[in-house]
Amino acid sequence: MAIKTFAQAINEALSIAMEQDSSVICYGLGTDDPKGIFGTTLGLQEKFGPERVFDMPTSENAMTGIGVGAALYGLRPVMSHQRLDFALLSMDQLVNNAAKWHFMFGGRRTVPLTVRMILGRGWGQGPTHSQNLQAWFAHIPGLKVVMPAMADDAKGLLLSSIYDGNPVIYLEHRWLHNLKGEVPAGDYRVPIGKARTLREGADITITAMSYMTIEALRACDFLAGHGITCDLIDLRSVRPIDWDTIRASVRRTGRLLALDTGFTTGSVAGEIVARMSTEYWGLLKAAPDRLAMPDYPEATSPTLTENYHIRAEHVAAKVAKMVGAKSDVLELMPQRNHPHDVPGDWFTGPF
Amino acid sequence: MNQTNDTLLLQQMLRIRLVEEEIAIRYPEGKIRCPTHLSIGQEAVAAAVGLALRKDDLAVSGHRAHAHYLGKGGNLPQMIAEIYGKATGCSGGKGGSMHLVDESVGFVGSTAIVGGTVPVGVGLGYGIKLKGTDQVSCVFHGDAVVEAGVFAESVNFAALKSLPVLFVCENNLYSVYSPLHVRQPAGREIWRMAQGMGITARHCDGNDAAAVYACVTDAISSIRAGNGPVFLEFATYRWREHCGPYYDNDIGYRSESEFLEWKARDPIPRLEAALLRDGMISHADIEQMLDNIRSEIAAAFEAADAAPFPLAEEAFTHLYAQ
């Protein structure tokens, strides 16, 4: 299998979908600019022409409704937002039209619309360029919401989103674009609504999504070296949530830590904690808990985010506490050699 | 009587009027249990646009959509059943008066958020353009829609891509109880706004059915010829309250005299008189027309009343397409 970055995997998924299906169109601010939305749309316009791949007016709400109309005409639009924060301008069309059309007309029509939104954290993105609002979309009946963490899932979930008969919100974390992994060739699809167990263990169930899965992996691998083994479930879809996989794991481990890239209150993690507490009250060995962003906007200056993000060390500490381990193992955790607010040395901005 | 466009226009207007009046009569019975916005007084635009469009042309609309749906050829019994919340309704009872659909005649849908279907209609236009057919996508909307940001965004894109979209603005002077003068600056001409955004725009008396028809036919020819979108503003007036079956000239937001002025410009007798004068139609023809319409309406209401409600379990279907 070829090794590709998360961004290349997205580009490949778009290219394959457009190659094999002339109804797929792709648009959004910056789609055909020299940067090509962090590399994800590079080369598409050259291959498929300006009618199917185009930049758009700064009109997020109408362009979403235009996607709904195009989908109703039989196209499969893929719309991209370089920041989720800008997609907030389109909540009316997403919630009142895209999410409702199939239901409110008695199942007469479907709206196969994919909306990519990029979210992130750190590097001064600040209060309005970094928000992880997956819970907003996951709250809406009629939308599907996916949040890949790995390059192969980035491709497989995007192809599944494009060919789904429903509006799908495809959330990609800026800190994942350069992450590499093995990516299957061709029209590779990952089912929406199925989680992926990345580490198997006996002591605790950890659920995570998107970039938080990467921090969780570091934590799990460190803890495993100290005799604490975790079931790490990468949710991949936050609507629908793969409850069967979470249930099976929690029944086995009796402990649950739900991680989230979004704000704590009203988070997807909160929903997972609530449901598992309700269903498995009697068999839980410890109170389920969650780690998510503080209920404050993210600030810009690097010192103001020092204690803001959830990182692997926080996950490891929380797990150690929940399983009753001595917490001094944490002192052994290797410190990263790059600043806390970038995904790696490669990241130098400007956005 | 020879069926001409003009007699069809009259027939369509009468049909819409009588359907809406029947809804108004039945509403207090309590069997219609959803917000319902009647188009009485505004029939000319819906009838003329519906007649000028082809069956395979597409249309979307807003909350006051009965007339647009019927004008486009939408199924009457299914509309009445939908308003009654019945399983046989066009949306299976999930939509009600404000969510009508009949794709068999190109009525793609009406929704309840002001301006909500404007971009949808433009998106249909993008699909038409990409596929290369000569269809037209018609967007029915009111005067308040032009105040919503999504309107400007949608017109901009339609102009940018020269899409086959017909914007039909029925300016009835009020948004619920808010008159134009509290919503738009004095002297604003809505059609000039659209013109200023780079699309062909015209305005016309919306209570003169023949004039509306001529205006729309020109616009459609231009759109089919590939000249891009057209915006038409029609001056008209809703006779009854914003939502519901009654008159509300007494509650203080508009005057009885204003209503009477507009009532004197009723589009139906205006066309009737012209057709009678020109010998295109006789009083007996009109009586026959009315009889046919009345029996069609009576049958539709009877069927809706008798139809079953959807099962409670149906509430949990159609969330996602499989």
Q: Do B157 and A74 touch (CB under 8 A)?
A: no
ipTM: 0.96
Closest CB to A62 among B91, B150, B319: B150
Average pLDDT score over chain A? 95
Q: Do A68 and B119 touch (CB under 8 A)?
A: yes
Domain for residue B317, yes or no?
A: no
For A149, the token pair is: 């963490």
Domain for residue B78, yes or no?
A: yes
| A19 is known as an active-site residue | no
- In angstroms, the Cα distances linking B271 to B265, B274, B281 are 11, 5, 11
Could you tell me the pLDDT band of residue A350, with boundaries at 50, 70 and 90? low
Q: What is the secondary structure of A213-274 as a DSSP string?
A: HHHHHHHHHHHHTTT--EEEEE-SEEES--HHHHHHHHHHH--EEEEEEEESTT-HHHHHHH
The pLDDT of residue B3 is above 90: no
Residues 22-41, chain A: which have Cβ within 8 Å of B? 25
Q: Do A73 and B123 touch (CB under 8 A)?
A: yes
Q: What is the secondary structure of B153-183 as a DSSP string?
A: HHHHHHHHTT--EEEEEEE-SEETTEEGGGT
Could you tell me the pLDDT band of residue B1, with boundaries at 50, 70 and 90? low
Residues 119-138, chain B: which have Cβ within 8 Å of A? 119-131, 137
**Residue the block writes with tokens 């005409």:** A73
The pLDDT of residue A338 is above 90: no
Amino acid (one-letter) located at B247: Y
Mutation site for B-interface testing, chosen from A103, A110, A161, A169 by largest number of B Cβ within 10 Å: A103
Q: What backbone torsions phi and psi does residue B183 show, to the nearest 5 degrees?
A: -120, -30
Helix (H) / strand (E) element for B316: namely: none
Q: Please, is B198 exposed, middle or buried when counting C-beta atoms within 10 Å of its C-beta (0-12, 13-18, 19+)?
A: middle
CATH number, domain at B47? 3.40.50.970
Q: Do A102 and B90 touch (CB under 8 A)?
A: no
Nearest chain B residue to A53 by CA distance is B130
Structure confidence by residue, pLDDT tens digits, B121-140: 999 999 999 999 999 999 99
Domain for residue B243, yes or no?
A: yes
DSSP state of A43: T
| B198 CB within 8 Å of a chain A CB | no
Give residue B94's domain range: 5-292
Nearest chain A residue to B151 by CA distance is A62
pLDDT at A333: 77
| Cβ-Cβ contacts under 8 Å, A56 against chain B | 157
- Compute the average pLDDT of residues B203-210: 97
- Contact B100/B65 with Cβ under 8 angstroms? yes
| B165 CB within 8 Å of a chain A CB | no
Domain for residue B241, yes or no?
A: yes
Domain for residue B313, yes or no?
A: no
| A177 is known as an active-site residue | no
Q: What is the secondary structure of A110-132 as a DSSP string?
A: ----EEEEEE---TT--TTS---
Q: What is the secondary structure of A62-83 as a DSSP string?
A: HHHHHHHHHHHHT-EEEEEESS
The pLDDT of residue B211 is above 90: yes
| A109 CB within 8 Å of a chain B CB | yes
Domains with residue ranges and CATH for chain A: 2-183 (3.40.50.970), 196-332 (3.40.50.920)
Of A12, A81, A129, A172, the active-site residue reads: A129
Structure confidence by residue, pLDDT tens digits, B31-41: 999 999 999 99
The pLDDT of residue B275 is above 70: yes
The pLDDT of residue B300 is above 90: yes
| Cβ-Cβ contacts under 8 Å, A49 against chain B | none
Domain for residue B314, yes or no?
A: no
Q: Which three-class secondary structure state does DSSP give residue A170? A: strand
DSSP state of B102: B
Residues 137-156, chain B: which have Cβ within 8 Å of A? 137, 149-150, 153-154, 156
Q: Looking at B132-247, list the stretches that DSSP marks H as alpha helix, in order from N- to C-terminal side.
A: 149-160, 190-196, 209-224
Q: How many domains does chain B have?
A: 1
Give the number of beta-carbon pairs within 8 Å between A and B.
152
Smallest CA–CA distance, residue B149 to chain A, in Å, is: 8
Structure confidence by residue, pLDDT tens digits, B81-94: 999 999 999 999 99
Domain for residue B320, yes or no?
A: no
Could you tell me the pLDDT band of residue A329, with boundaries at 50, 70 and 90? low
Q: Which three-class secondary structure state does DSSP give residue A165? A: coil
Question: Rounded to the nearest 10 degrees, how much is the dihedral formed by the CA atoms of A232, A234, A239, A244?
Answer: -40
Smallest CA–CA distance, residue A76 to chain B, in Å, is: 10
- Contact A151/A162 with Cβ under 8 angstroms? no
